[in-house]
Structure 1
């Protein structure tokens, strides 16, 4: 049995699900794009190739191997995008919470059945139908659970609005001893630079007390300010709109001092090293064309 244990984003990683780019399917049509960044690359003819994305994910798998992390991969479904393991479920404490995601992604969860079967069934939770949530919006941080959401009355008009307030309330009920803190995110179906698809597209805690943050990703300035006050201005790496677009905040922590980052994130990677982190650089620029990066493609199961 897997003894699930996730209380934050940065404790030493022991087991993880890493998505797969194998049999990723044809390039989606313009009408089938789930986010503005994919749409941009579909239109420009620069949508990533399967081969490039497989190579990028293999580079991450090798880093995990180097740190003795147990890696699970989804069973490959023909012609199905299974890259973003974070969307389909997430772990908080010892609970495995299935996300209520876009309906045509149901089969992705079946592809990790070999993982789910190793979890105590009492700890597998399916939220009520009206709770929309994706793992990219949910961040356990010790006594807190940070959740990205969108509560505008036009929620249903945004393919990019993935987590609603019903889910925030459900998480608070599941974890009454934690403080669930919701943040309203800026959404756009058409402009990737004005769209925070998930909370991890504009914010991520790193180390013990630091964070990467992008102000414009937050709709309400005082919610952004709460994070600045919580972590302390000197502990924050503030990213530009362009850096958010390239997914600078979507790195992934193997431990409090080791971070996997995209090799082109020069400004960030230098800052991380100056602040005592070991940075494992990988190529991930092709995968980022689908508005997701390292955190999006991983689902941590066990941290110390």
Structure 2
């Protein structure tokens, strides 16, 4: 397979979409990796497998409608494999296999049948000290935007997924790109104060627009850089509650077609007013795990 990803919005041709089949039992509180999952476990509202399967099949149907080749992970028994973006990501013609939480190594193996078809020199496994997840990494033409957390207390945050060593490694891998990193706000306990990944508080759409949440960024100047880069008139600023509900985690099929959650009324109206076709799907159950449409898709080829 010849991979090609230059940005977030060019016409999608092939993608890995996660699966909710055999998702396993509701985790115990101490097994949760993020504060939103923990909140729903404690409240007794953690999503049911059958509901999540229906939501993911709705996305698969939209992708097929647009003639996108859809790969799914091999199903592992009693194992959460929804968030395909965490475990690997593509930049240009290279697939980077993420160093993720040790408990999730088997997820990587379940998509091996796809990435093994890529030329070996373009399959990259970063050194062990580089922690990175695909939700933090956004190719945007000449740029690669990366969400990170570089505080001395990095190890204290289970929500800190991408470290400065990974940022440096990606810079070295792509010397022709401008790598711009952003310090994200982290909380192990409050989902409204936690940007788990960069795509939880920012995402480009179309050719020149972006969805953004100021409080997701620890450094105001870094947030302001994005405002200046895209232009204030091109930004849809989301509220704290909208970030909590994952408004910035939609998914682009092309520069003018996006998949979005059907309850994101304010965002979906803005997208339509700006000329986008919005394919609405139900995704509120999956959102309870602090991930949405971008998190559960891993693009392989865009035009």
TM-score, scaled to structure 2: 1.00
Residue 57 (structure 1) aligned with residue 41 (structure 2): no
What are the residue-to-residue correspondences of 1:43-54 with 2, within 5 Å? 43-54=42-53
Counterpart for residue 171 of structure 2: 172
Report the Cα offset of residue 106 of structure 1: 0.5
Deviation by residue 1:27-77 (Cα, 9 ceiling, x = unmatched): 000000000000000000000000000000000000001000000000000
Report the Cα offset of residue 181 of structure 1: 0.2
Counterpart for residue 199 of structure 2: 200
Unaligned runs of 5+ in 2: none
* Higher alpha-carbon deviation: 173-182 or 110-119: 110-119
What are the residue-to-residue correspondences of 1:141-156 with 2, within 5 Å? 141-156=140-155
Counterpart for residue 136 of structure 2: 137
Report the Cα offset of residue 220 of structure 1: 0.2
Deviation by residue 1:135-154 (Cα, 9 ceiling, x = unmatched): 00000000000000000000
Cα distance in 1 for partners of 2:186, 2:10 equals 31
Counterpart for residue 303 of structure 1: 302
Any idea what SS the aligned residue of 2:284 has?
coil
What are the residue-to-residue correspondences of 1:1-304 with 2, within 5 Å? 2-304=1-303
Aligned Cα RMSD in Å?
0.3
Unaligned runs of 5+ in 1: none
Question: Number of residue pairs matched?
Answer: 303
TM-score, scaled to structure 1: 0.99
Any idea what SS the aligned residue of 1:148 has?
strand
Report the Cα offset of residue 113 of structure 1: 1.5
Runs of 4+ displaced beyond 3 Å: none
Cα distance in 1 for partners of 2:113, 2:244 equals 34
Cα distance in 2 for partners of 1:113, 1:248 equals 30
Any idea what SS the aligned residue of 1:59 has?
helix
Cα distance in 2 for partners of 1:222, 1:203 equals 15
Report the Cα offset of residue 116 of structure 1: 1.4
Report the Cα offset of residue 191 of structure 1: 0.1
Any idea what SS the aligned residue of 2:291 has?
coil
